Copies of this chain bind each other. A is one copy, B any other.
Amino acid sequence: MKHFLSLNDIDSLPNLVEDAIALKKSPYQFDALGKNKTICLLFFNNSLRTRLSTQKAALHLGMQVLIMNFGKEGWTLEFGDGTVMNHSTSEHIKEAARVVSQYCDILAIRAFAGLQNKKTDEAEEVLRGFRKYASVPVVNMESSTAHPLQALADAITMEENKTKAKPKIVLSWAPHPKALPHAVANSFVSMIKMQHAEFVITHPKGYELNPEITHGCQIEYDQAKALEQADFVYVKNWSSYSNYGKVLHQDSNWMMTQEKLGKAKFMHCLPVRRNVVVEDAVLDGPQSLTTEQANNRTFSVQIVLKKILESL
C-alpha cells in the first residue's frame, strides 16, 4: 500500500480484515517493522479515538510518533495556486507538505469538512494538498468526505460479530443538534458495498447522501420497515447533502431505541449524544458494539500502517 486516502486504496477488504484480526491477537508481533520509522500525526481538528488509537497502533509496530495540532501549534495554511500571500495565511501547503516529509516516514492527517461550501469540501484541499506535495505516504485520519479507518474498524467489528454469511445491515440516520459531516456515513456505505451483505440506508427525505456514493444502494424512508430483521444497525447523524451542511430538522422519532433495535447489534462511531441519537438502554445494553468498534480502531490503523511500512 502506498497511501491510504480512501477505501479504494485497499486491494481486498476481506483479506485486510482477516489480517487485522490476526494482528489483534498479538499486537506487538511486528514491532521490529517500525524500528527507526516515524509517523507524524497532523491534527487540523479535535480527536480522541483517532489520536489515541493511531499512536497506540504505531507504538505496537515499534514506530516513533510526532504529533502536531496544526492550527494551534503551527501556522495557518494557504492552498491557492499563485496566491499573493499578504493576508492571513502564513505558510503554503507546498512548503508544509515538503517540509513535514523531511521529518517522518508516514504522514497522517485529520481535516474535517467545513460544511460551508460543498465544492471546497469535496476538493479535500488539506488531504489532497499533502498527498500532492508530500514525499512520503499519506494516511487519512478523517477528511472532509471520508473516514476510511473508521469504516475499516467497523468492518472488523462486523466480521467478529456476524452470525450468518450474509447479514442484513442498516445505516440509520439519527437526529443531532449540530451540523455534522458526511465522512463517516460515506465511508461506511463504500465499505458495505465491498461486503457480502443485504444493505438498507434509512433517513428522512432531504437527508440523502451523495448519490455517487450511494449509487446502487437501497434507500428506505420508512425507518421501521428498514429495520425489520436487521442484524447490524449502524446509527449516525449527518447534515443535508443537497441543502449542503444544513440541519433540516431534528426529528426525535428517528432516535434509536431498544424497541426499534430488536435483536440487532448496535453500532456507532462515537462520540454519541445519549438520548438524542440513541437511548441509554441501547448503549448500556449487551447489543452495543461501540466499545469494540473503538478498540478495533487500533487494529484498523495498525494493519494499514503495517502494509505501508512493508512497501516503503
Contact = CB atoms under 8 A, between A and B. Distances in A.
A22 to B, nearest CB: 18
Contacts of A298: 102-103
A92 B51 CA distance: 18
A102 B295 contact: yes
Among A47, A89, A99, A284, the one with the most B-chain Cβ atoms within 10 Å of its Cβ is A99
Interface in A271-312: 271-276, 280, 283-284, 290-291, 294-295, 297-298
Contacts of A119: none
Main secondary structure of the interface of A (DSSP, over half): mixed
A275 B83 contact: yes
A24 to B, nearest CB: 11
A48 B95 CA distance: 11
A75 interface: yes
**Interface size class, chain A:** 35 or more
A177 B86 contact: yes
A200 to B, nearest CB: 26
A156 B28 CA distance: 37
A214 to B, nearest CB: 27
Contact of A73 (B46, B66, B84, B273): B46
Contacts of A83: 274-275
Interface string A91-121: 1101110111011100000000000000000
A272 B98 contact: no
B46 A94 contact: no
Contacts of A84: 274-276
A305 to B, nearest CB: 15
Number of copies: 3
A254 B119 CA distance: 36
A64 B19 CA distance: 25
Among A96, A274, A290, the one with the most B-chain Cβ atoms within 10 Å of its Cβ is A274
B86 A273 contact: yes
A216 to B, nearest CB: 33
A211 interface: no
A284 B82 CA distance: 11
Given A78-B274, A84-B275, A95-B290, 8 more contacts: A46-B73, A56-B103, A86-B250, A95-B271, A98-B291, A99-B291, A102-B297, A103-B298
Interface stretch (A36-44, A141-149, A159-167, A227-235): A36-44
Given A36-B28, A66-B56, A276 B86 contact: yes
B56 A38 contact: yes
B271 A75 contact: yes
Given A275-B84, A276-B86, A283-B95, A52 B103 contact: yes
Contact of A99 (B95, B100, B294): B294
